């Protein structure tokens, strides 16, 4: 898998140059989208309006990861591989084709093959996996990956979900019989969607619970881990909760105070008894179920699966998210809070923003926070323990003084700023509020819900990491770690000098120190020139196509220790 990811990143950077080819052919090109705004870009008459929406507040269209198209590509590739498998007499020829033939290497997609005992016979370009047995291989949550692949293939084929390289991977598999021997063949991709992340988190919780029960341990050992705030079952705004089939709350990753209460009579604003609906659906289903309802003024989706302890007691493990709690909703909530502060004053605004029972200044899992310019927390809509604390010296998970950054961003004109909390990136929108008696920062944040957002935040985080590092080499060393913070599924970081020297290419170590200035697109334009011309307009997104595969990249220019570098990340759309 690692070797294949190397090729993925390599091809993605080369593919960027195809943007220029469209210019040569007189086809209107897709131009870079500037992803950074500043106060100097805003007319003076707009600077006095509340919660100004700048150019970087709106995501460009046409750049999102196409999940439906990708799922079809995966199924088509597996079916194509299955047809070739069936009609080809030599299994050696089949395995060689799956490992080297471009017909079975489609962008970041590749075909794998396992026998029913878990031995690998093909895995794209990951030749180091061939002949190795992975029957007991598990992801970071303890999910038995290859066992699930084999069992799903035996049952007629289908989709499975697990964690790989720090991200949720979704894989399609089916069974092929050849020469009296059964094989599971398949292909997977990284969706970076909230739906798949929710399913992955629940399945991980189920896997842990079953493991704990299978080992004869107490169920609370699993339930306790669900609520650990820094643990692997909390990712951004996603967390697990668990209940008995009669509504007793036995675990809750966000509000520990709910444990021991009963939620059987909980109903949403439209009268839906949510937990009853989950139990009812689970009793009628052999697998997981989705339930739609309303919470905190917003539609919410929850996914749940059934588990049973050693005494036969039934529980469900669930996770939910708010699909409409997006960047536009963040800006709208900040604008609303800004106006309320201006018209009602700081004290009344703080009371409203801090009140967990009032939903007026909440939308799903979005909430408002307020700081003074010295980092004192005045309001925090998710956790009142922060109120009254001076957070000037608080750091995020990458060591950044994130409260200082929020304050500075607001003082510079406001807008979006990113940092890392709860094992995930968080994108925050802030504005400066001048009440006459004092100036304050009001803001709201959300966790990424798309592959585009994750890629952009990963690249921006890498660029900031270089800027804050003592030495360039300290940052570069982090970019090339296979299980490091800058590798998320098929997303990773590339770094070039302006004269074409490769300093990092994800986990493709063979490219380090190579001069790629001779690399050219189909029109003969040097890649480095394309990147340099693009960055002359500022950091941003670019779209490109190569071999009928459309890709998206985000790039930034970073100056460090007297040098200038190109930093970015990309994915196949």
The mean pLDDT value for 241-263 works out to 92
Lowest mean pLDDT among 306-315, 394-403, 428-437, 544-553: 544-553
Pick one of 1.10.3430, 3.30.450, 1.10.3470, 2.40.10 as the CATH number of 2-36+454-572: 3.30.450
Can you say how many angstroms the Cα of residue 155 is from the centroid of all Cα atoms in its chain? 30
Q: Which helix (H) or strand (E) holds 524?
A: none
Edge-to-edge strand ranges of the sheet holding 540-546: 33-34, 540-546, 549-560, 563-572, 494-497, 502-505
The pLDDT assigned to 553 comes to 86
Helix (H, G, I), strand (E, B) or coil at 317: strand
Instruction: Please report how the helices 67-87 and 91-100 are oriented relative to each other, as an axis angle in degrees rounded to 10.
Output: 150
The pLDDT assigned to 551 comes to 82
Helix (H, G, I), strand (E, B) or coil at 307: strand
- Does the structure show a pLDDT above 70 at 103? yes
Tell me which residue of 420, 456, 464 sits closest to 560, measured CA to CA: 464
pLDDT range class, residue 3, cuts 50, 70, 90: very low
- Does the structure show a pLDDT above 70 at 6? no
Residue 408 DSSP code: H
The pLDDT assigned to 231 comes to 67
Residue ranges of the domains in the chain? Answer: 2-36+454-572, 67-189, 194-321, 327-446
How large a percentage of the chain has pLDDT more than 70? 87
pLDDT range class, residue 546, cuts 50, 70, 90: low
Residues forming beta bridges with residue 316, ordered by sequence position: 243, 306
Exposure string over 276-308, b if 16+ CB within 10 A, otherwise e: bbbbebbeeeeebbebebbbbbbebbbbbbbbe
pLDDT range class, residue 528, cuts 50, 70, 90: confident
The mean pLDDT value for 297-311 works out to 94
**pLDDT tens for each residue of 212-230:** 998 888 888 889 888 776 6
The mean pLDDT value for 537-543 works out to 84
Q: Which helix (H) or strand (E) holds 537?
A: none
* CATH domain 67-189 topology: Beta-Lactamase (3.30.450)
**pLDDT tens for each residue of 258-291:** 999 999 999 998 899 999 999 999 999 988 999 9
Question: Rounded distance, CA 554 to CA 533, Å?
Answer: 14
Size (the chain), residues: 573
The pLDDT assigned to 127 comes to 86
Question: Rounded distance, CA 473 to CA 258, Å?
Answer: 47
pLDDT range class, residue 126, cuts 50, 70, 90: confident
Question: Rounded distance, CA 404 to CA 137, Å?
Answer: 43
* CATH domain 194-321 topology: Beta-Lactamase (3.30.450)
The mean pLDDT value for 131-144 works out to 90
The pLDDT assigned to 27 comes to 22
Question: Rounded distance, CA 535 to CA 60, Å?
Answer: 17
CB 470 within 8 A of CB 374: no
The CATH code belonging to domain 327-446 is: 3.30.450.20
- Does the structure show a pLDDT above 60 at 130? yes
DSSP labels, 522-561:
TTS-BHHHHHHHHHTT-SEEEEEEETTEEEEEEEEEEEET
Widest CA span of the chain, in angstroms? 83
The mean pLDDT value for 488-510 works out to 90
The mean pLDDT value for 208-213 works out to 90
**pLDDT tens for each residue of 399-452:** 889 999 999 999 999 999 888 887 788 899 999 999 999 999 999 999 888 899
Residue 509 DSSP code: G
Can you say how many angstroms the Cα of residue 560 is from the centroid of all Cα atoms in its chain? 28
Question: Rounded distance, CA 223 to CA 539, Å?
Answer: 44
- Does the structure show a pLDDT above 70 at 165? yes
Lowest mean pLDDT among 39-53, 284-298, 549-563: 39-53
The mean pLDDT value for 291-316 works out to 94
Compute CA distances 290 → 13, 93, 293, 321, 480, whole Å.
Answer: 39, 43, 10, 11, 38
The pLDDT assigned to 422 comes to 79
pLDDT range class, residue 522, cuts 50, 70, 90: low
Task: Assess whether the region 67-189 and the region 327-446 belong to the same CATH fold.
Answer: yes
The pLDDT assigned to 564 comes to 94
**pLDDT tens for each residue of 185-205:** 999 999 999 999 999 999 989
**pLDDT tens for each residue of 44-93:** 333 333 222 223 444 556 788 889 999 999 999 999 999 999 999 999 99
pLDDT range class, residue 565, cuts 50, 70, 90: very high
Tell me which residue of 20, 108, 138, 94 sits closest to 529, measured CA to CA: 20
Lowest mean pLDDT among 116-120, 269-273, 481-485: 481-485
The mean pLDDT value for 297-308 works out to 95
The mean pLDDT value for 247-252 works out to 94
Q: What is the mean pLDDT of the chain?
A: 85
The mean pLDDT value for 4-22 works out to 37
Edge-to-edge strand ranges of the sheet holding 181-189: 120-123, 112-115, 181-189, 167-178, 158-164
Q: Which helix (H) or strand (E) holds 196?
A: helix 194-214
The pLDDT assigned to 224 comes to 87
Question: Rounded distance, CA 455 to CA 302, Å?
Answer: 25
CB 544 within 8 A of CB 23: no
The pLDDT assigned to 506 comes to 87
The pLDDT assigned to 4 comes to 40
The pLDDT assigned to 48 comes to 32
CB 12 within 8 A of CB 6: no
- Does the structure show a pLDDT above 80 at 497? yes
């Amino acid at each position: 898998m690692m070797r294949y990811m190397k090729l993925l990143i390599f091809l993605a950077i080369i593919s960027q140059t195809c943007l220029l080819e469209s210019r040569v052919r007189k086809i209107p090109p897709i131009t870079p989208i500037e992803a950074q705004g500043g106060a100097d870009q805003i007319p003076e008459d707009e600077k006095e309006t509340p919660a100004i929406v700048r150019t970087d507040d709106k995501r460009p269209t046409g750049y999102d990861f196409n999940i439906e198209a990708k799922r079809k590509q995966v199924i088509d590739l597996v079916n194509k591989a299955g047809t070739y498998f069936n009609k080809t007499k030599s299994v050696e020829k089949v395995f060689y084709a799956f490992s080297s033939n471009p017909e079975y290497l489609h962008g970041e997609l590749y075909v794998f093959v396992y026998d029913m005992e878990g031995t690998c016979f093909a895995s794209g370009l990951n030749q180091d996996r061939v002949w190795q047995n992975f029957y007991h291989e598990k992801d970071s949550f303890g999910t038995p990956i290859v066992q699930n692949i084999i069992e799903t293939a035996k049952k007629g084929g289908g989709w499975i979900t697990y964690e790989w390289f720090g991200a949720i991977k979704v894989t399609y598999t089916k069974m092929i019989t050849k020469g009296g021997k059964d094989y599971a063949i398949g292909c997977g991709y990284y969706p970076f969607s909230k739906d798949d992340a929710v399913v992955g988190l629940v399945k991980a919780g189920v896997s842990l619970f079953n493991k704990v029960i299978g080992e004869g341990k107490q169920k609370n050992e699993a339930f306790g881990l669900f609520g650990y705030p820094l643990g692997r079952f909390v990712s951004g705004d996603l967390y697990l909760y668990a209940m008995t089939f009669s509504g007793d709350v036995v675990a809750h990753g966000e509000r520990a105070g709910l444990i021991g209460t009963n939620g059987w009579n909980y109903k949403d604003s439209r009268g839906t008894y949510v937990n009853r609906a989950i139990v009812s659906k689970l009793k009628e289903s052999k697998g997981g179920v989705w339930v739609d309802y309303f919470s905190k003024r917003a539609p919410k989706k929850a996914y749940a699966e059934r588990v049973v302890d050693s005494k036969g007691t039934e529980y469900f493990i669930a996770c939910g998210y708010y699909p409409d709690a997006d960047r536009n909703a963040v800006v709208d909530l900040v604008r609303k809070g800004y106006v309320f502060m201006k018209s009602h004053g700081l004290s009344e605004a703080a009371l409203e923003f801090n009140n967990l029972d009032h939903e007026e200044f909440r939308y799903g899992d979005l909430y408002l926070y307020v700081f003074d310019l010295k980092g004192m927390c005045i309001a925090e809509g998710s956790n009142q323990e922060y109120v009254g604390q001076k957070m000037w010296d608080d750091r995020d998970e990458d060591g950044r003084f994130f409260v200082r950054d929020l304050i500075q961003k607001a003082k510079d004109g406001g807008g979006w700023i990113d940092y890392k909390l709860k094992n995930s990136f968080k994108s925050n929108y802030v504005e400066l509020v001048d009440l006459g008696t004092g100036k304050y920062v009001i803001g709201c944040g959300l966790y990424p819900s798309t592959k585009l957002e994750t890629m952009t935040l990963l690249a921006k985080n890498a660029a900031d990491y270089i800027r804050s590092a003592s030495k360039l080499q300290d940052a570069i060393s982090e970019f090339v770690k296979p299980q490091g913070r800058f590798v998320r599924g098929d997303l990773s970081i590339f770094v070039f000098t302006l004269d074409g020297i490769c300093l990092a290419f994800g986990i493709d170590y063979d490219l380090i120190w190579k001069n790629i200035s001779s690399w050219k697109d189909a029109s003969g334009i040097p890649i480095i020139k394309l990147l340099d011309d693009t960055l002359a307009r500022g950091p941003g997104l670019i779209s490109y196509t190569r071999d009928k595969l459309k890709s998206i990249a985000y790039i930034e220019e970073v100056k460090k220790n007297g040098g200038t570098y190109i930093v970015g990340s990309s994915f196949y759309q």
